[in-house]
A and B are shown apart, each in its own frame.
Chain A
Amino acid sequence: MKTFLKSLLCALALFVGVAPLAQAQNGPLRIEITDGVIEPLPFAVPNFVAETSGMEELATNIARVVAADLNGTGLFREIPENAFISTITNFSSPVQYSDWKAINAQALISGAVSMNNTGEMSVKFRVYDVFSGQELGNGLRFRGTREGWRRIAHKVADAVYSRITGESGYFDSRVVYVSETGPKNERLKRLAIMDYDGANLQFLTDSSSIVLAPRFSPSGDRVLYTSYETGFPRVFVLDVGSATRRVLEDQPGTMSFAPRFSPDGNSVVFSITEGGNTDIYLMDINSGSRKRLTNAPSIETAPSFSPDGKRIVFESDRSGSQQLYIMSANGGQAQRISFGQGRYGTPVWSPRGDLVAFTKQNKGRFHIGVMRVDGSEERLLTASFLDEGPTWSPNGRVIMFTRETQGANGSASLYSVDVSGRNLKPVRTQGGGSDPSWSPLQQ
Chain B
Amino acid sequence: MSSMKLTAVLAASLALGACSDTGQFGGGGLFGGNRPADDTQFGDPTSPSYFQQAIGDRVLFPVDRAVLTDEGRAILDAQAGWLAVNSDYVAIIEGHADEQGTREYNLALGARRANAVREYLLSKGVAGVRLRTVSYGKERPIEICSAEACYEQNRRAVTVISGGLSS
Tell me the nearest residue of chain B to A364, going by C-beta: B100
Interface segment out of the listed B4-12, B51-59, B70-78, B109-117: B109-117
Chain B's nearest CB lies how many Å from the CB of A39? 36
Asked if B108 lies at the interface with its beta carbon under 8 angstroms from chain A, I say yes
Residue pair A435, B103 in contact (C-beta under 8 Å): yes
A185 and B142 in contact, given A231-B134, A233-B135 (Cβ under 8 angstroms): yes
Min CB distance, B49 to chain A, in Å? 20
Contact A301 B108 (CB under 8 A): yes
The answer to whether A253 touches B144 (Cβ under 8 A) is no
| Residue contact B115 to A253, C-beta cutoff 8 Å | no
Q: Are A257 and B107 in contact (CB under 8 A)?
A: yes
Interface readout for B101-132 with A: 1 if CB under 8 Å, 0 if not?
11111011101101110110000000000001
The stretch that binds B, out of A58-66, A132-140, A383-391, is A383-391
Cross-interface CB contact of B146 among A186, A273, A406, A435, cutoff 8 Å: A406
CB distance from A327 to the nearest CB of B (A): 17
Given contacts A258-B104, A258-B107, A273-B111, 5 further A-B contacts (CB under 8 A): A210-B136, A277-B112, A315-B105, A346-B103, A389-B102
Residues of A contacting B133 in the complex (Cβ-Cβ under 8 angstroms):
276
For chain A, the bracket of interface size reads 35 or more
A241 contacts partner chain B, Cβ-Cβ < 8 Å:
no
Shortest beta-carbon contacts, A-B, top 10: A276-B115, A345-B102, A278-B108, A299-B108, A184-B144, A406-B146, A273-B111, A408-B144, A258-B104, A301-B104
Question: Of all chain A residues, which has the CB nearest B99?
Answer: A386
The 8 A CB mask of A382-417 against B (1 = contact, 0 = none) is 000110110000000000000010111010000000
Across the interface, do A184 and B141 meet the contact criterion of CB distance under 8 Å?
A: yes
Contact A299 B109 (CB under 8 A): yes
In the complex, chain B residues 134-150 whose Cβ is within 8 Å of any chain A Cβ: 134-136, 139-146
Which residues from chain B contact A189 at a C-beta distance below 8 Å? 139
B66 close to A (CB within 8 Å): yes
Are A299 and B105 in touch, CB under 8 angstroms?
yes
Q: How far is the CA of A299 from the CA of B103 in the complex (A)?
A: 13
Cα distance A325–B100 in the bound complex, in angstroms = 22
Q: Are B134 and A233 in contact (CB under 8 A)?
A: yes
Quick check: B31 and A186 within 8 Å, CB to CB?
A: yes
Do the beta carbons of B112 and A185 come within 8 Å of each other? Answer: no
Judged by a CB distance under 8 angstroms, whether A302 is at the interface is yes
Does any Cβ of B come within 8 Å of A213's Cβ?
Answer: yes
Q: How far is the CA of A187 from the CA of B144 in the complex (A)?
A: 11
Is A70's CB within 8 Å of the partner chain B? no
- Closest approach, in angstroms, between the C-beta of A300 and any C-beta of chain B? 8
Which residues in B have their C-beta under 8 angstroms from that of A231? 24-25, 134
A361 within 8 A of B: yes
Q: How far is the CA of A396 from the CA of B108 in the complex (A)?
A: 29
Which of B103, B108, B115, B119 is within 8 Å of A212, CB to CB? B103
A186 to B30 alpha-carbon distance, docked (Å): 8
B141–A345 touching, CB < 8 Å: no
User: B107 near A359 (CB under 8 angstroms)?
Assistant: no
In contact, A407 and B107 (Cβ under 8 angstroms)? no
Q: How far does the alpha carbon of A322 sit from the alpha carbon of B145 in the complex, in Å?
A: 25
Given known pairs A186-B31, A407-B145, the reply for A257 and B104 (CB within 8 Å) is yes
Known contacts A276-B66, A276-B111; decide if A345 and B104 are in contact (CB<8 Å): yes
Within the complex, the shortest CB–CB distance from B145 to chain A, in Å, comes to: 5
**13 pairs, CB–CB < 8 Å, chain A vs chain B:** A185-B143, A186-B31, A233-B107, A257-B104, A273-B111, A275-B115, A276-B119, A277-B115, A278-B108, A361-B100, A388-B102, A389-B102, A407-B146
**A322 — which chain B residues lie within 8 A by C-beta?**
102, 105
Residues of B contacting A210 in the complex (Cβ-Cβ under 8 angstroms):
136, 139
What residues of A have a CB within 8 angstroms of the CB of B103 in the complex?
A: 212-213, 346, 388-389, 435
Q: Quick check: B111 and A278 within 8 Å, CB to CB?
A: yes
- Inter-chain contacts of A407 with B (CB < 8 A): 145-146
B30-46: CB near A (< 8 Å → 1, else 0) gives: 01000000000000000
Q: Tell me if A255 is interfacial: C-beta within 8 Å of chain B.
A: yes
Chain B, Cβ-Cβ closest to A257: B107
Cα distance, A210 to B134, chains bound together (Å): 13
CB contacts (< 8 Å) of B112 on chain A: these are 276-277, 299
Contact of A187 among B116, B139, B146 (CB under 8 A): B139
User: Is A271 close to B, CB under 8 A?
Assistant: yes
B114 contacts across to A, CB distance below 8 A: 276
Contact status B104-A302, CB under 8 Å:
yes
Q: Does chain B have a CB within 8 A of A232?
A: yes
B116–A359 contact, CB under 8 A?
no
Q: Which of the residues B105, B140, B144 comes within 8 Å of A301, measured between beta carbons?
A: B105
> Closest A-chain residue to B117, C-beta based?
A276
Q: Which of B104, B119, B136 contacts A346 (CB 8 A)?
A: B104
A232 to B108, Cβ gap below 8 A?
no
Chain A residues near B119 (CB-CB < 8 A): 276
Q: State the Cβ distance, B3 to closest chain A Cβ, in Å.
A: 34
- Bound state CA distance, A364 and B99, in angstroms? 11
> Which residues of chain A from 272 to 318 have a CB within 8 Å of any chain B CB?
273, 275-278, 299, 301-302, 315, 317
Query: Does A144 lie at the interface of the complex (its beta carbon under 8 Å from any beta carbon of B)?
Result: no
| CA distance in complex: A359, B104 (Å) | 11
Q: Pick the contact of A345: B105, B111, B115, B139 (CB < 8 A).
A: B105
Contacts of A426 in B (CB 8 A): none
> Contact flags (1/0) for A178-210 with B, using CB distance below 8 Å?
000001111101000000000000000000001
Contact A273 B144 (CB under 8 A): no
B108 engages A404 (CB within 8 Å): no
In the assembled complex, which residues on chain A have CB atoms less than 8 Å from the CB atom of B31? 186
